[in-house]
């Protein structure tokens, strides 16, 4: 079983083979910031869909794991 990495700007809430849900506190009640993040993520070819619920800091990313392995999805 792999250990979930720790990050300072977000927390991984749930992850599956093709989907990851994270909690991003900086999105709280900031629809503009959430929309910008959504647009930036969708610029990556392997990311198929991004769902953001800024009212609760939730961001769900649907991606193709063959084009974008999970280890490349997380920032270094």
75: left (phi over 0), alpha (psi -120 to 50) or beta: beta
pLDDT at 76 over 60: no
Which of the pair, 74 or 16, is modelled with greater confidence?
Answer: 16
Cα gap 6→55, rounded to integer Å: 23
Report pLDDT for 62: 96
pLDDT in tens, 5-57: 667 788 889 899 999 999 988 888 888 988 999 999 999 999 999 999 888 88
Farthest CA pair distance, the chain? 37
């Amino acid at each position: 079983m792999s250990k979930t990495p720790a990050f300072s700007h977000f927390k991984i809430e749930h992850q599956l083979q093709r989907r990851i849900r994270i909690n991003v506190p900086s999105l709280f009640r900031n629809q503009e910031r959430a929309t910008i993040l959504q647009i930036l993520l969708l610029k990556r070819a392997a990311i198929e869909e991004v769902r953001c619920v800024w009212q609760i800091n939730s961001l769900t990313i649907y991606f193709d794991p063959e084009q974008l392995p999970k280890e490349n999805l997380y920032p270094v």
